[in-house]
Amino acid sequence: MKIIIPPHNLIAEPVKSWNEIKREARELLLFLDQKNFAGKWKDAYAISHAQVSEQPKSFFVVHKDKAWMFQNNRVIINARILSGENEVKSKEGCMGFPHEKVAKVRRIQRVKVEFYSPKGLFFKKLKKDTMDLDGLSA
């Protein structure tokens, strides 16, 4: 799997169904769980579809060791911030920044977020969840 270093100036399209993304989501989970990142990204705990696709869909996957941050949801689909507070500026290194540079970014420290995750027998349905997140997971 090739990592595309954003920005590629495309807005991720909303996901309409699990079937639309299940192959790519499973591939991303395997890639992330096997820690196939190199260098300083080796400890990455999430990867967005926008980082690996030139036709991005609005979802990201979470490493199995960090799934607890999202109530054990591993695939986060069509996430939308409902409210947020306590904006701070901090240095962050992310694959979203070119050339592996650390950049100063604005982050909200506490958010209420709504998203969908695959649920049910064989993950055939998407279930809406709402969570309050703090810190890095926010």
Q: Is 79 helix (H, G, I), strand (E, B) or coil?
A: strand
**Average pLDDT rounded to a whole number, residues 41-70:** 84
Higher pLDDT, 42 or 5: 42
- Give the DSSP per-residue string, 54-74: SS-BSEEEE-GGGGGGGTT--
What whole-number percentage of the chain has pLDDT above 70? 75
Residue 13 pLDDT exceeds 90: yes
Q: What are phi and psi of 28, to 5 degrees?
A: -65, -40
Give 60-86 pLDDT, tens digit per residue.
999 888 888 888 889 999 999 999 888
pTM, two decimals, is 0.80
Task: Tell me the residue ranges of DSSP E strands in 23-124.
Answer: 46-48, 59-62, 75-93, 102-119
